[in-house]
Amino acid sequence: MSAEPLQALANVGKGESTRTLLRVVILFLIAGAAVASRLFSVIRFESIIHEFDPWFNFRATKYLVANGFYSFWDWFDDRTWHPLGRVTGGTLYPGLMVTSGAIYHALRALTIPVDIRNICVLLAPAFSGLTAYATYLLTNEMTPSPSAGLLAAVFMGIAPGYISRSVAGSYDNEAISIFLLVFTFYLWIKALKLGSMLWGALCALFYGYMVASWGGYAFITCLLPLHSFVLICMGRYSTRLYVAYTTWYALGTLASMQIPFVGFLPVKTSEHMPALGIFGFLQLLAFLDYVRSAIPGRQFQTFLWLFAGGTFGIGLAGLVIATSAGVIAPWGGRFYSLWDTSYAKIHIPIIASVSEHQPTAWPAFFFDLNMLIWLFPAGVYLCFQQLADEHVFIVVYALFGSYFAGVMVRLMLTLTPVVCVAAAIAVSNVFDAYLIVKSPSTEDRQVEDVSEAVAKKAKSGLKSTSKPVVGVYSLISKGAVVSAMTVYLLLFVLHCTWVTSNAYSSPSVVLASKLADGSQHIIDDYREAYQWLRQNTKDDAKIMSWWDYGYQIGGMADRPTLVDNNTWNNTHIATVGKAMSSKEEVSYPIMRQHEVDYVLVVFGGLLGYSGDDINKFLWMVRIAEGIWPEEVNERAFFTPRGEYRVDAEASQVMKDSLMYKMSYYNYNNLFPPGQAQDRVRGARLPEVGPTLDVLDEAFTSENWIIRIYKVKDLDNVGRDHAAASAFERGLKKKKVMKKRGPRVLRVD
């Protein structure tokens, strides 16, 4: 009697519609968890745009919302890269801004007045929910197991490798493009499996959206042809592949060429050539397929060799000629750095100076993926076992993704989806085997054996092709494995939460510190200084700073800048680097020529804030040296013993540089004489601080993180600034002299 309610309870999960409902509920919960785990920074700080690049995206979104789509498309921004300006509308990926703009207008139409900033801040978490769903769909294509998809969705939702680029406030292109990446892959698999033109077209559509959103679209552009190529090499050419690939390539390329920034790149640059090559190759194969069905086998052999060899030769020659003639652009610097990790350091310091372009350290894999990284090979192995077309995709993606993730830190992002999918396949495989409470009884086995024997006889196949019946009998081993996996999963959640909370949830615009009583103290120097610039300088005052702060100044201070994070003009950046690293007499003409009104430097010496300009200074020197090797010399900034110092031992060139002077000007007055201390570099500074002739201190923030200097106008009586300020100092000295009593003639 008592078994009946239990039975009824057990039967609840068995109906088809109940299962669907459960799945929907679980997926919603996963999306909720994905969103919630990204909100640390909003709860701890506020709804604020993070870091550097997002500030530009935010500013562009505000421009789009205020001025409409067409003026956004034609936007020429004269408030950056002064005096050059930037054709912003044609040099950005508009997908992100248009998405936010569309959401904004949709909400307005429903009369829900949401601030555009809140949309921008919460866009990445919202899309992470969608990414989890897309991963669910992609995994479901790989395995019949019902749990794999849900596990993959959970992994994707909370894996730190993805959270690092999608916390609330990190309003960057990656925020939406990881969703687009995974969804495009799902549509590709679907199109390939069904050989469907409709799915192929949908795949092209989302590919187009992806191209509109992120430069990382090249990953898809290379991965899909590679997958096709591997399939062809495995002898798996089919009309399904032909239909899916040609539909995607033709429509997708057309879609991508609609973006002004991409334009004709898909037919001009080397990165896009594999896709074009495979497209041509597939046409040949289709043609050969047709020929083979039309002519007899022997003739076909000779025809094949001649035809294939000829086409390959012509194609290769054409490519070489086109590249050398400059029709096809040679590989870009960022591309070379993907193969040789030390390439950028030698040839393009500006790429190497960005921390996220550094090669990945091994612990980073465990940090960002935790247990997924050791489940990943197991999942890939399981794919090898089945090895249908879609499993080949996972294998290819895994290889490709792992390599690139090892080369550049930021490409960990593209690896994460495949790791989640593979790991979910592995975990679900384990659970599917061990979570069945009922042990296979011997009778069942006999029955199975009998039925199998019958089937065997009927098929009379090889013994190895039939799977042996395996089952886990002991409840203890089931319990042990299941509980171990559960503990791992729980630890994984713990690790993800910890990493997200500690490593990826700081806005970096606002710093937090703990007071002695444990309460949180906000250090808000950046915004203090930016707000001061915004309110108390004239509207078109040009600000010179290192390029890292360009986007923030544009977004928060709303003032024109010389250089910013869109590092399109290396010479202009080198000019700023030269002005920062040269003597005042050299820098002043540069600043006058560029109409600089204020110079902004970041100084962490008082607070011990290590991300300041003195620590970045060597990159400025290197980049300037790349353009003016005679005038700027990196070696001269080191002491004779090769140390990088800022104290009294520092080299004279270092002490004379504008950056050094601006950082430490007036700093020693804050301390008792001789006690001035730089807390970042742990150095005791010389008792007499540097003097500035061509600049005036205009503003210093509360904790001295931001220091702003005003460029002096030309002297009223035509002296140079050094003479003028020496004169002023001289006057004071004379007064001191007078106190010493009457002069005495010196008698020899």
Of the two residues 307 and 699, which places its CB atom closer to another protein in the complex?
Answer: 699
CB 396 within 8 A of CB 227: yes
Q: How far is the CB of 435 from another protein (least distance, A)?
A: 34
Of the two residues 201 and 481, which places its CB atom closer to another protein in the complex?
Answer: 201
Which of 456, 478, 495, 534 lies at the binding interface for another protein (CB under 8 A)? 534
CA-to-CA distance for 180 and 210, rounded, in angstroms?
6
Confirm or reject binding of residue 519 to another protein (CB under 8 A). no
The DSSP code for 596 is E
Of the two residues 289 and 528, which places its CB atom closer to another protein in the complex?
Answer: 528
Which of 316, 697, 715, 727 lies at the binding interface for another protein (CB under 8 A)? 697
Of the two residues 445 and 521, which places its CB atom closer to another protein in the complex?
Answer: 521
Q: How far is the CB of 111 from another protein (least distance, A)?
A: 5
Q: Which stretch binds another protein (CB under 8 A): 2-10, 374-382, 526-534, 730-738?
A: 526-534
CA torsion through residues 738, 744, 745, 748, sign: negative
> 352: closest CA among 365, 341, 363?
341
Which of the residues 338 through 367 are near another protein (CB under 8 A)?
A: none
CB 59 within 8 A of CB 66: no
Q: Is 490 exposed, middle or buried (0-12, 13-18, 19+ CB in 10 A)?
A: exposed
Distance, CA of 48 to chain centre: 19
Q: How far is the CB of 314 from another protein (least distance, A)?
A: 43
Give how many residues touch another protein by CB under 8 A.
Answer: 32
Confirm or reject binding of residue 535 to another protein (CB under 8 A). yes
CB 388 within 8 A of CB 425: no
- Written as six digits, the tokens of 416 are 């994460």
Which of 11, 508, 536, 610 lies at the binding interface for another protein (CB under 8 A)? 536
Q: Which stretch binds another protein (CB under 8 A): 41-49, 188-196, 484-492, 615-623?
A: 41-49
Q: Which stretch binds another protein (CB under 8 A): 39-47, 178-186, 359-367, 492-500?
A: 39-47
Of the two residues 49 and 192, which places its CB atom closer to another protein in the complex?
Answer: 49
Helix (H, G, I), strand (E, B) or coil at 517: coil
Show the CA angle centred on residue 519, arms to residues 516 and 524, nearest 5°.
100
Give pairs for 329-335: CB < 8 Å, separation 24+.
329/265, 329/268, 329/269, 329/270, 330/270, 331/270, 331/271, 332/269, 332/271, 335/270, 335/271
> 45: closest CA among 433, 657, 548, 520?
520
Of the two residues 121 and 241, which places its CB atom closer to another protein in the complex?
Answer: 121
Which of 531, 567, 633, 677 lies at the binding interface for another protein (CB under 8 A)? 531
Which of 540, 643, 687, 696 lies at the binding interface for another protein (CB under 8 A)? 696
CA-to-CA distance for 462 and 409, rounded, in angstroms?
48
Q: How far is the CB of 148 from another protein (least distance, A)?
A: 28
Of the two residues 336 and 532, which places its CB atom closer to another protein in the complex?
Answer: 532
Q: Which stretch binds another protein (CB under 8 A): 65-73, 159-167, 336-344, 694-702?
A: 694-702
Of the two residues 408 and 529, which places its CB atom closer to another protein in the complex?
Answer: 529
- Written as six digits, the tokens of 249 are 């390539």
Helix (H, G, I), strand (E, B) or coil at 51: coil
CA-to-CA distance for 77 and 533, rounded, in angstroms?
19
Confirm or reject binding of residue 515 to another protein (CB under 8 A). no
Q: How far is the CB of 282 from another protein (least distance, A)?
A: 28
> 94: closest CA among 208, 202, 219, 5?
208
Of the two residues 217 and 551, which places its CB atom closer to another protein in the complex?
Answer: 551
Q: What element of type H or E holds 334?
A: helix 333-339
> 535: closest CA among 561, 509, 559?
559
Confirm or reject binding of residue 46 to another protein (CB under 8 A). yes
Edge-to-edge strand ranges of the sheet holding 706-711: 542-544, 596-602, 706-711, 695-700
Of the two residues 62 and 334, which places its CB atom closer to another protein in the complex?
Answer: 62
Q: What element of type H or E holds 543?
A: strand 542-544
Q: Which stretch binds another protein (CB under 8 A): 298-306, 491-499, 533-541, 624-632?
A: 533-541
Confirm or reject binding of residue 524 to another protein (CB under 8 A). yes
**One character per residue 91-130, x = contact with another protein (rule: CB under 8 A):** -------------------xxxx-----------------
CA-to-CA distance for 592 and 585, rounded, in angstroms?
11
Q: How far is the CB of 695 from another protein (least distance, A)?
A: 10
Q: How far is the CB of 510 from another protein (least distance, A)?
A: 8
- Residues 6 or more apart whose Cβ sits within 8 Å of residue 734: none
Of the two residues 337 and 701, which places its CB atom closer to another protein in the complex?
Answer: 701
Q: How far is the CB of 542 from another protein (least distance, A)?
A: 17
**One character per residue 475-504, x = contact with another protein (rule: CB under 8 A):** ------------------------------
Q: Which stretch binds another protein (CB under 8 A): 219-227, 269-277, 403-411, 700-708?
A: 700-708
CA-to-CA distance for 554 and 531, rounded, in angstroms?
12
Helix (H, G, I), strand (E, B) or coil at 313: helix
- Written as six digits, the tokens of 298 are 């022997």
**One character per residue 704-723, x = contact with another protein (rule: CB under 8 A):** x-----x-------------
> 240: closest CA among 205, 273, 274, 289?
289
Which of 248, 393, 530, 619 lies at the binding interface for another protein (CB under 8 A)? 530
- Written as six digits, the tokens of 552 are 């923030």
- Residues 6 or more apart whose Cβ sits within 8 Å of residue 208: 251, 252, 255, 256, 258
Of the two residues 111 and 293, which places its CB atom closer to another protein in the complex?
Answer: 111
Which of 700, 705, 711, 721 lies at the binding interface for another protein (CB under 8 A)? 700
Which of the residues 653 through 692 are near another protein (CB under 8 A)?
A: 666, 669-670
Q: How far is the CB of 700 from another protein (least distance, A)?
A: 4
Confirm or reject binding of residue 742 to another protein (CB under 8 A). no
Q: What are phi and psi of 683, to 5 degrees?
A: -115, 145
Which of the residues 538 through 567 are near another protein (CB under 8 A)?
A: 556
What is the bridge-based pairing of β-strands 542-544 and 596-602? parallel
Which of 392, 411, 620, 698 lies at the binding interface for another protein (CB under 8 A)? 698
Confirm or reject binding of residue 736 to another protein (CB under 8 A). no
**One character per residue 54-93, x = contact with another protein (rule: CB under 8 A):** ----------------------------------------
Confirm or reject binding of residue 527 to another protein (CB under 8 A). yes
Helix (H, G, I), strand (E, B) or coil at 54: helix
Q: Which residues would be at the binding site for another protein (CB under 8 A)?
A: 45-48, 110-113, 510, 522, 524, 527-528, 530-532, 534-536, 556, 666, 669-670, 696-702, 704, 710
